[in-house]
A = this chain, B = another copy of it.
Amino acid sequence: MPYPEESQGFMIDGPEPYADFKKRWFKLKPFEEHDVDVKVEACGICGSDVHTIGGGWGPKNWPLCCGHEIVGTAIRVGAKVTNVKQGQRVGVGAQVYSCGECKQCKNDNETYCPHVLIDTYGSKWPNTGIISQGGYSSHVRAHEHWVFAIPDKLETNVAAPMLCAGITAFSPLVRNGAGPGKKVGIVGMGGIGHLGIAFAKALGAETWAISRTRAKEADARKLGADGFIATSEEGWDTEHRFSFDLIVNCANSSKNFDLARYLSVMDVHGRWVSVGLPEEEGQVIKAQNLIANGVLIGASHLGSRKEMIQMLNLAAEKGVGTWIEAIDINEENLKQAMTRMTKGDVRYRFTLTGFDKAFA
């Protein structure tokens, strides 16, 4: 067999026992003319993986191999593939397919496709019913639309988390006008948020990091933040009242979150866009809380192929890089990393490495 029809990865069978990874073979979807096989060389550990593995986002198509911040080598490309060349270094993010035919897909909104939306892991492929599996593995298979050339200047381990964390922060920034003359805030300085700060600055916006305490202030400033707000201090909301054009909320939890207070710092028709999906119940919103400044509240889901390419090029050009802690992929390290992630104990992203060793 010249090409793999199966991949080998670290899977779990459900939330219990916690983070009990087991190396197993799993079946890939049948290879089609627009597909690309990627031999994984690095994979970031995303908050989504942690929510999924812990069961916080509810039942999933177990067993699962997580991981959707992938960089590797395109080892096989389908007959009709034009975006990718065999042997090229490429990335795969959190989605591997959409219908490609609808208004949304044709309008650079393919991550919002209402018809077919296949996540990199945990989705059922139409026709075959095979469950998609992620990058804690030897190989992934994706439609070429979702496979992105990595610019030479970006290191593999640093680029990997950009494929999900990076684009998750980048898309709402560019879609909501982050740039010169705009005051932009990033709430929550984790994997997504730290890239949000770096990209907001790279786009030319006046960039503010917004965190509970000042513990991460020095890091925020190194990442490019022009200003820093610690929400545990008095008076920040009064000081910044009616001033932000955009805040991208990257917080992973909505616990004890006084949304009305945050909204009060938005300028008229400013945008409050959430990219996290907290496990807690939502927040009560009254029109009364929105009317003083006519603020708009929204959410954002990944970003288009065009935005992904724009982001990778901007990162290469401006030297934007993920702050990573590289760890070799194996059962023990995965379990430890998951546990540390739930405590926010990483600055600011784990990248899994050593795939050759794990899948020799």
Nearest residue, chain B, Cβ from A264: B114
A287 vs B295: C-alpha distance when bound (angstroms): 16
Query: Which one of B282, B287, B294, B299 contacts A277 once the chains associate, using CB atoms below 8 Å?
Result: B287
Query: Which one of B175, B274, B289 contacts A287 once the chains associate, using CB atoms below 8 Å?
Result: B274
Q: Give the distance to chain B from A340, nearest Cβ to Cβ, in Å.
A: 24
Asked whether any CB of chain B lies closer than 8 Å to the CB of A298, the reply is yes
Nearest residue, chain B, Cβ from A284: B282
A104 vs B294: C-alpha distance when bound (angstroms): 12
Is the CB–CB distance between A276 and B287 below 8 Å? yes
Contact with B along A274-307 (1 / 0, CB 8 A): 1111100111111111111111111111000000
Contact with B along A80-105 (1 / 0, CB 8 A): 00000000000000000000000110
Which residues on the B side are within 8 Å of A295 (C-beta)? 298-299
Is the CB–CB distance between A290 and B269 below 8 Å? no
A59 vs B298: C-alpha distance when bound (angstroms): 32
Which residues on the B side are within 8 Å of A359 (C-beta)? none
A282 vs B308: C-alpha distance when bound (angstroms): 37
Interface size on A, residues (CB 8 A): 39
Is the CB–CB distance between A281 and B282 below 8 Å? no
Is the CB–CB distance between B242 and A294 below 8 Å? no
Which residues on the B side are within 8 Å of A301 (C-beta)? 291-292, 294
Nearest residue, chain B, Cβ from A274: B287
Query: Which one of B103, B282, B294 contacts A298 once the chains associate, using CB atoms below 8 Å?
Result: B294
Nearest residue, chain B, Cβ from A115: B242
Asked whether any CB of chain B lies closer than 8 Å to the CB of A107, the reply is yes
Is the CB–CB distance between A291 and B299 below 8 Å? yes
A112 vs B281: C-alpha distance when bound (angstroms): 31
Q: Give the distance to chain B from A162, nearest Cβ to Cβ, in Å.
A: 20
Is the CB–CB distance between A104 and B285 below 8 Å? no
A13 vs B327: C-alpha distance when bound (angstroms): 71
A298 vs B294: C-alpha distance when bound (angstroms): 6
Is the CB–CB distance between B300 and A298 below 8 Å? no
Asked whether any CB of chain B lies closer than 8 Å to the CB of A109, the reply is yes
Which residues on the B side are within 8 Å of A103 (C-beta)? 242, 267
Contact residues of A with B, CB < 8 Å? 103-104, 107, 109, 112, 114, 175, 241-242, 267-269, 271, 274-278, 281-301
